[in-house]
Amino acid sequence: MDSAPTEREMEILKVLWRIEEGSVRDVHARLEPESGLHFNTIQTQLRIMDDKGLVAHRREGRSFLYRPLRTREDVSSRFLHKVYDGALNELVLNMLNSEKLSDKDLVELESLITEARQKKARTRKGRK
């Protein structure tokens, strides 16, 4: 099945992206303080995410260890195409207009853009 993650699934994916692989207990320990979600809720959610192809699991002893099958980049790309029809400039303009970005945030964005340009230039040179 190929579906976009729900808000709760995104929270679980964020944990798994940070820890790379973990048990229900690992995910619960990181989510519970903020979300208040019960262990059984996270366990059920991870099973659903496994069925949806968002995570995979392996057995270690009596526990399942879960790992994300989707990367941040993959989820971001799907979001961009779903909401903005792939128009990155619209996404960035909406973000800049709707968020109160600090000067530090703007400097960081400029730096990321510069890095992306340099990477693209290196890639082009490598093809020639």
CA distance 101 to 92: 12
pTM, entire model: 0.69
pLDDT of 2 > 60? The answer is no
pLDDT, tens digit, for every residue of 45-74? Answer: 999 999 999 999 999 999 999 999 998 888
E-assigned strands of 1-128?
55-60, 63-68
**Residues above pLDDT 70, as percent of the chain:** 91
- Does domain 7-68 match CATH 3.30.70.1060? no
18 vs 106, more confident: 18
Domain residues of the chain, as ranges?
Answer: 7-68, 87-127
pLDDT, position 126: 76
Residue from 55, 92, 58 nearest 74 by CA:
55
Q: How many CB atoms lie within 10 A of CB 54?
A: 26
